[in-house]
Amino acid sequence: MTTARNRARAAFAALLAALPLLAALPSASQPARSAAEPARELLNSERIAERFGSYGVEVLASDGPLRVSNLFSGTGADKIGRTFAVVRYPDDVPAALAREHAEIAAGGSIGAVFAGHGWRVEKTHLHYGELDATPRSRALMKDPPAARLAVHVYALDVAKDGRRYRYAVLAEVHHPDYLRLADLPAIYGPADSARDPEVVAEMLALTAAELARP
């Protein structure tokens, strides 16, 4: 499993090096949204807290450009994983995001950290699908009643003061009592499935490998 995980990560790193997906993008080509545009969508952390009354994040692994975390509600015996998240950062995080990245690397929730520092968080939705539940996901999610779990792959941009940067690509696997496959397009609109299919494939491979870990 370690070899397969390393191969997937190495292939993904090589792919990202050849793509502009994780490069900083100047405001001239991708301007920040104006104040007149609609209010931002809820962050995943906010949506979990709103739905279940509480929210927390537990970092399960953090190794260079890869982070795996459990977004949960409840505490103690009532703690239930609502989202299993795999995050791929760029190899070189833009200097303008160094403070926020340090907080996130220390265990902070990505969307909440950026929102707390005045950044607008925006997503490019790349894929909606399903992955098989595994012993690891069942343990974190307290045996959800589903053999397949909804997965959402997206790129995350942050924008402020006319600056815009691509920060990460994420794959989020959701507890079925929180979000199912049909809920994703209903909330976020259609996915741009024709954009960067290689990145989607590698994120799904990385996520499946992490879910298969004990």
Phi first, then psi, for residue 167 (nearest 5°) are -100, -40
Cα(170)–Cα(187) distance, integer angstroms: 17
Residue 172 or residue 3, greater confidence:
172
Phi first, then psi, for residue 15 (nearest 5°) are -65, -45
Residue 7 region, left (φ>0) first, then alpha (ψ -120 to 50), else beta? alpha
Q: How confident is the model at residue 8 (pLDDT cuts 50, 70, 90)?
A: low
Average pLDDT, the chain: 86
- Minimum mean pLDDT among 104-108, 203-207, 210-214: which range? 104-108
Cα(110)–Cα(119) distance, integer angstroms: 11
Residues 19-47 pLDDT 10s: 444 444 433 333 444 444 456 678 899 99
How many CA atoms does the CB half-sphere of 187 hold within 13 Å? 17
Length of the chain: 214
In 3-state terms, the chain is what percent helix, strand and coil (to 5)?
A: 35, 30, 35
Give the domains, in start order, of the chain with CATH numbers: 2-212 (3.40.1410.10)
- Is the pTM higher than 0.95? The answer reads no
Residues 121-147 pLDDT 10s: 999 999 999 999 999 999 999 999 899
Q: How confident is the model at residue 2 (pLDDT cuts 50, 70, 90)?
A: low
